[in-house]
Amino acid sequence: MNPSGKKKVRVKKTVCAVTATAMLCLAQPVWGDNSVPGSGVAVSETVTSVDSSGQAGSESVTDNEIPKGAKISSKQAEDIVKKAFPELKNVKVSNVQFLENDGMRSSALAWDLQLVLTKGNSTSGFNAQVNAVTGELINIYLPNSLVKQDTDEPALTREAAKEKALKWISTHVSDVKASELKENEAYLGMQAALFSPPRFDFYFQTSVNGIESDVNSITITLDGQGNAIQYSRNQVSEEFPSSTPKLNEASIRKLFEDQFQVSLAYVPENLYNNAKGEYFLGYIPNDLSGYSMDANTGKFISFTGEESGLVSVEDGTIPSTEETFKPIAGPFAGGDAAARWVESQIKLPSGLKTESKTLGTRWNNKEVKTWNIRWGEHSISAMGGGEMVSAEVDAKTGQIYSYNRYRYDRTETAEVKNPISQQAAQELAFETVSKLVPNASEEWKLTSVDKMGKDTKTLNYQFSFQRYVGDIRVMGDSLNLTIEANGQIQGFSVNSEGVLSKLPTDVKPAITEEQARAQYLKEIDLKLKYGYYGGYLSANNEITKPFIKLIYYPTHKQQALGGMQVPLDAKSGEWRDIMPEMNRKDIPAVTDASGHSAEAALKELVKYRVLVPDKDGKVYPDRQITLGEWYQLVAASVSPSYEQVYGRSTMDPYAGLQPDHPYYQAIQVLIGQNWIPYDPDSPLQLDRKLTRDELASSLTRILNYEKLSKAFILPTDVQGISDADAVTNKGAALIALKLGLLPAVDGKFLPTREVTRAEAAEVLVRMSKLAGRSDSFLSSFYW
């Protein structure tokens, strides 16, 4: 016992291992750059002072010891973190670990500091990592409790915030020139919302030898006043190949164009939100067109960075067979019956026993009940060896929607002496699809085969099928089947959302396939960059060695965030946008708000995609809105992409609204925020024009002042308003007036006057100023 009455508890040799999941996460920019424990042994020197009551004391756990290989101590690492983030001055370090592998792509020696902020009985814990050799900050994310949200200072513009971000990087990152950083906006995720407390996310990439690169990135987030609240640096230790490609762009272009083909397809109106089931006839590229190409060989490469074995199939018609899918006579009596049925349709590896059977619904259709079944080996060891199989099967028809076999330890897997040939595997694929999928030979075609693996331990054939109506593909309806070298099925999944009766089968193309191909080639660029591959769990349960390759990648000029998902309308010959509206810059300029009293507010709503102008740039400021339209504006103020979030919703109908109703998604957002009463059985009068009286009531609900508003019921409570007697909810009117959200008009509240888009825009912009600054309105959430 020491003189203070506290004893020291020292914990040593904490082992940290990076998992395959963590490694896969590292491939995802921005959201995958968070701290991950290292893959080596991490020795932790933790000293915590504990008094007799068991409470942690204030003695520092960092010290001046420098471990072998490092150049800075844990105390220096703590000083570096607190210098970069002054608001951490009084935050205690509760634990410190020396990591022999920081878990990032650089695999650097690092200090991992665990910090704890205590306020009364609540605590917020977070980590910061510092490179133990260079002293450079690697990773930190401040908790919301440390982020100032009650400031009266005006928020910066994004341009000003970017300047501050680059200045911060210049100050705290020694080996990077801010002038060489390029902002990549494709990784920002959902667009900031009107109701978000101001914050700015930046994802910067450094060019290498003057060439765009997938690696060496910096992510930084600033609050509305330009204070850094998150920072992450991702580097690699792998060597970069020569920056001079053996094939120039012209040579690569010819190779790309020689294989490039397009085909007719029924294309969903929205790729990720097609609840209404609407399609149009369009042209889309072939499967290989989105692949990158090796800049030195001209070969197409797969996601692994190796030469792709993908081969397009010209005529993939499934031969007619006697054994076709036949639905079961009646619903399964239970999970055991469902499991036995799957076993009769697909041969499972020997030795597996049923472990679980769960009755649920399809992820995209709650009307379809399914059994989710899992099989496993009872001999699976604690170290993760053995096999497991999972499957989802329709409880009523017996159709198998998915089947996947997982092998956790392939180190003892024997070589397959007589591996199945590609032709035999293809014949087996046809037989399997015919047996498992309704109308297989009439509706499905094999479109490509990909041979994967370098030996018979890892060899497998991946067959891709697409759904067709005649010779026209149904985009999004796909089937994938993987067969291993021993002829066993490793994976099967089918997705067929298209309702054939809704497809525009009477539409004829106005342009030819060759014309469509020519239009595509005019819009496609091939860009040079360094691609980063490896670092994932391979089929034989090993982490593949990372490597960097010089590649050309295709991108469509009409695709704001890169990629090839831009179909060409076969009837009009125009490009169609089917992607979610996330951080898009192609918003038409507003043409009908100039000189309007609400011009600034209308443009603010357009900026945050709460209002989207039509193709002529019109927002119709003086158009009166309905209650449903008001709910849509509020929902978009919370999340500009709310329609995509709830686009595939399988929730129950609400207030008489089915999921495909135009107001359904907005209602779900407001229910989640408790901004409308939860009464699923009472129909909502969403098509009724919204009055100022009703608007005031809605505002008090959103502000969480509804109960307070009930305390003011007299006309005299609404002072200075000559028509207070006509106001139904006087407390709501009082609050809206006092907060300046709904000002009086010539001394009147005008409760029955219908609200226009312009007036709603002004109200929403005023509301947005309260986000993060009100005690009750979005005071602790980021969107």
Nearest of 181, 29, 202, 184 to residue 104 by alpha carbon? 29
User: Could you give the percent of the chain with pLDDT greater than 90?
Assistant: 52
Q: What is the DSSP code (8-state) at residue 624?
A: B
In a domain, 580, yes or no: no
| Residues 6 or more apart in contact with residue 144 via CB below 8 angstroms | 124, 780, 782
Task: Please tell me the predicted confidence (pLDDT) of residue 722.
Answer: 93
Q: Round to whole Å and give the CA distance between 441 and 316.
A: 10
Nearest of 133, 143, 63 to residue 99 by alpha carbon? 133
Structure-derived torsion over alpha carbons of residues 122, 769, 196, 91, reported in degrees to the nearest 10: -30
Q: 222 with 267, same domain?
A: no
Answer whether 231's CB lies under 8 Å from 541's CB: no
Quickly list H helices, 85-218. Answer: 158-172
Nearest of 687, 675, 695 to residue 776 by alpha carbon? 675
In a domain, 163, yes or no: yes
Q: 253 with 230, same domain?
A: no
Number of domains into which the chain is organized: 4
In a domain, 737, yes or no: yes
**DSSP-derived 3-state class of residue 118:** strand
In a domain, 577, yes or no: no
Q: Round to whole Å and give the CA distance between 376 and 340.
A: 15
Instruction: For the chain, give the number of residues.
Output: 783
Answer whether 413's CB lies under 8 Å from 431's CB: no
In a domain, 700, yes or no: yes
Report the 10 Å Cβ neighbour count for 55: 9
Q: Which two tokens stand for residue 220?
A: 């930084």
Q: Round to whole Å and give the CA distance between 168 and 218.
A: 12
Q: Round to whole Å and give the CA distance between 51 and 6.
A: 4
Q: 29 with 149, same domain?
A: yes
Answer whether 69's CB lies under 8 Å from 132's CB: yes
Q: Round to whole Å and give the CA distance between 671 and 665.
A: 10
DSSP character string of 237-297: -SPP--SS-SS-HHHHHHHHHHH--EEEEEEESSTT--TT--EEEEEEE-GGGGSEEETTT
Task: Please tell me the predicted confidence (pLDDT) of residue 3.
Answer: 41
Query: Of 529, 548, 569, which residue is a domain's last?
Result: 569
Query: What average pLDDT values come out for the chain (783 residues) when binned by 10 residues?
Result: 36 33 29 30 35 44 92 95 90 91 74 87 86 92 72 74 93 85 66 78 87 87 89 86 94 95 92 75 92 95 88 90 93 96 94 92 83 82 68 97 82 77 96 96 95 82 96 95 94 92 93 96 94 72 81 87 83 86 65 94 92 91 96 92 65 73 88 86 89 96 90 86 93 93 94 97 92 62 40
In the block, residue with structure tokens 């965030």? 561
Nearest of 508, 534, 316 to residue 427 by alpha carbon? 316
pTM over 0.85: no
Quickly list H helices, 416-512. Answer: 422-436, 440-443
Structure-derived torsion over alpha carbons of residues 614, 619, 620, 621, reported in degrees to the nearest 10: 180
Q: 636 with 561, same domain?
A: no
Answer whether 705's CB lies under 8 Å from 735's CB: yes
**Segment 375-390, tens digit of pLDDT:** 998 654 444 557 899 9
Q: 260 with 378, same domain?
A: no
Q: 147 with 268, same domain?
A: no
Q: 290 with 194, same domain?
A: no
Query: Of 179, 204, 234, which residue is a domain's last?
Result: 234
> 307 pairs with which residues across the strands?
301
In a domain, 530, yes or no: yes
Answer whether 744's CB lies under 8 Å from 720's CB: yes
Q: 219 with 270, same domain?
A: no
Burial class for 379, CB neighbours closer than 10 Å (0-12, 13-18, 19+): exposed
Q: Which two tokens stand for residue 306?
A: 């190796």
Q: Round to whole Å and give the CA distance between 238 and 665.
A: 46
Measure the CA angle with vertex 500, ends 499 and 501; round to 5°: 95
Q: Round to whole Å and give the CA distance between 274 and 474.
A: 13
Nearest of 39, 88, 69 to residue 231 by alpha carbon? 88
DSSP character string of 692-745: HHHHHHHHHHHTT-HHHHTT--SGGGSTT-TTGGG-S-HHHHHHHHHTTSS--B
Q: 226 with 282, same domain?
A: no
Query: Of 549, 569, 589, which residue is a domain's last?
Result: 569
Task: Please tell me the predicted confidence (pLDDT) of residue 382.
Answer: 44
Q: 280 with 138, same domain?
A: no
| Residues 6 or more apart in contact with residue 420 via CB below 8 angstroms | 428, 461, 483, 485, 486, 487
In a domain, 459, yes or no: no
Between the alpha carbon of residue 576 and those of residues 260, 525, 607, the distances in Å are: 20, 18, 22
**DSSP-derived 3-state class of residue 249:** helix
25 phi, psi to nearest 5 deg: -60, -30
Task: Please tell me the predicted confidence (pLDDT) of residue 538.
Answer: 59
Nearest of 183, 180, 177 to residue 220 by alpha carbon? 183
Q: Round to whole Å and give the CA distance between 463 and 449.
A: 5
Q: 633 with 521, same domain?
A: no
Domain interval for residue 724 = 599-768
Sheet with 212-213, strands from edge to edge, namely 212-213, 524-533, 547-556, 292-294, 300-301
Between the alpha carbon of residue 314 and those of residues 263, 400, 448, 523, the distances in Å are: 12, 27, 9, 25
Q: Round to whole Å and give the CA distance between 593 and 600.
A: 9
Structure-derived torsion over alpha carbons of residues 48, 52, 55, 59, reported in degrees to the nearest 10: -40
In a domain, 491, yes or no: no
Task: Please tell me the predicted confidence (pLDDT) of residue 402.
Answer: 97
| Residues 6 or more apart in contact with residue 49 via CB below 8 angstroms | 4, 6, 7, 8, 56, 57, 58, 59
Q: 31 with 132, same domain?
A: yes
**Segment 387-441, tens digit of pLDDT:** 899 999 999 999 999 999 987 655 556 688 899 999 999 999 999 999 999 999 9
